[in-house]
Each structure stands twice: as structure tokens, then as C-alpha cells.
Amino acid sequence: MSSQAPLSDASLEARVELAALAARYHAAGWMLGTSGNLSARVADDRFVVTASGCDKGRLTPNDFVEVDPDGTVVGAGPGRRPSAETSIHLAVYGPCPEVNAVLHVHTPDSSLLSQGSTNPSFLDFTGFEMVKGWGLWEPAAVAQLALFDNHADVPRIADDVRAWLTTKPAVPALVIERHGITAWGEDLTAAHRHVEVTEFLCRVARNGGPEPD
Ligand SMILES: [Zn+2]
């Protein structure tokens, strides 16, 4: 697809929904300074991702790129380029065909969590009511939030995430140390809920809750 080709209905719909969500996150202080990136699957092998360097409070349908599973840009608005963090989105979509939305935000409380001794290390929220928002309804459900090292070389983070996802974790979110949250779901509504639950629990951890292993 060239940059001049018309957008598919699915692509345009995803862009409008992602722009609206980005505006909410920007207003909440979770996507300031052009940070963060949001994406959605618009076909089996195609993903719409917010473009790099755009004000997340004022996105238009042009402020996105479309990539294939390898990260090759297959469509972009004029002058738009993908974020390096696109690799983290693709690391989630790859092993998780049921996932149709991935959201990455730089929230205050997730940014202040410190890693434990392993990569990933884990914060154990088992027994906390809020984990139901992650879809973990059984009282004994193990609710371990993974914390990853933040590397300047972003594809290295993506490699760590991809390897961890092969363990089929129950929690649909992760934290990158001193960086932010990535959460995902079968649709945008679920992925958004997972972002909110994760930031809430990061705040709990910051206020005397569980510490990383
Ligand atoms: Zn980031």
C-alpha cells in the first residue's frame, strides 16, 4: 500500500478510536511530551500504530503508521514514521493471535517502580480485588505483574517480552522499569481496562504494597 492509498474502513475506525483514547491518556498525564504509543490489529497481518513524535493530545488519522508483523511500514501519513517502541507491540501480537490492541503509556507510578533481582522480576498482587480487572476472577488466581529492564536498545526489550510471553502469563500487562506500562487485550476496551488496573496496582505497590522479588 502506498502512502496515497485510501484507508480501509477498519484502519480508519481504529485510528479514530486510538486518537480518542490517546487524548484521554494525554489529559491524564500518561502520554505527555509525545510519549507512549497505541496500536490495534486491523487485519491478520497488519497493525495501526501511533506515529513517532506526534502530540498525543491532538492526533488525526494521518498521525499513524501501518506495519506488518516484521515491523515493515506498509502505510503512513505524510512525513510520519514508526516509533522504535513499535517492536514491543509486535512482540505481543506475534505470540498472541487473540490480542487485537496493545497500549503503551508512560504513567507516573509505573515509572517509579524499581526492578527486583531478575529480568523480569514480579510484583505479586494475588488476592487483591483489583486483579479482577485483569480478568483474574478466581480468589486464588496468581496475579504476578512482570517488571522488565529498560534498555536504550528497544528491540532488546521486545526480545525479553517475546520470550516471556511464551510462558503464557495470566496477567495481560507488564511494566518496563522507570519507563511505563504496556497492556493488551482482545479489543481496545479490554486493553484500556488493563492499563488502568495496572497503573492502580503500581500506585498500590508504591504505597507499601508488594515489592519485586
Ligand atoms: Zn515508552
Q: What is the CATH number that goes with domain 1-83?
A: 3.40.225.10
Distance 56 CA to ligand 1 centre (A): 13
Distance 104 CA to ligand 1 centre (A): 6
Q: Which residues contact 207 (CB under 8 A, 6 or more apart)?
A: none
Q: Which helix (H) or strand (E) holds 144?
A: strand 144-148
The predicted model scores a pTM of 0.95
Q: How far is the CA of 87 from the centre of ligand 1 (A)?
A: 11
Domain boundaries, the chain: 1-83, 87-213
pLDDT value, residue 4 = 55
Those residues whose C-beta lies under 8 Å from the C-beta of residue 22, and which sit 6 or more positions away, are: 31, 36, 38, 50, 56, 57, 59
Burial tier of 79 (Cβ tally within 10 Å: 0-12, 13-18, 19+): exposed
**Which segments of 44-80 are extended strands (E)?**
46-50, 64-67, 73-76
CA of 35 to the centre of ligand 1 (A): 6
Residues contacting residue 82 through CB under 8 Å, at least 6 positions apart: 49, 51, 52, 65, 67, 71, 73, 76
Which regions of the chain are under pLDDT 70? 1-5
Q: Do domains 1-83 and 87-213 have the same CATH topology?
A: yes
CATH superfamily assigned to domain 87-213: Class II aldolase/adducin N-terminal domain (3.40.225.10)
Find where cell 502512502 sits.
3
SS3 141: coil
Ligand 1 centroid–CA 138 distance in Å is 32
Q: How far is the CA of 111 from the centre of ligand 1 (A)?
A: 10
Report pLDDT for 62.
94
Is the omega angle on the peptide bond into residue 120 within 30 degrees of 0, that is, cis?
A: yes
Tell me the pLDDT tens digit for each residue of 75-120: 988 889 998 899 999 999 999 999 999 999 999 999 998 888 899 9
Answer whether 146's CB lies under 8 Å from 120's CB: yes
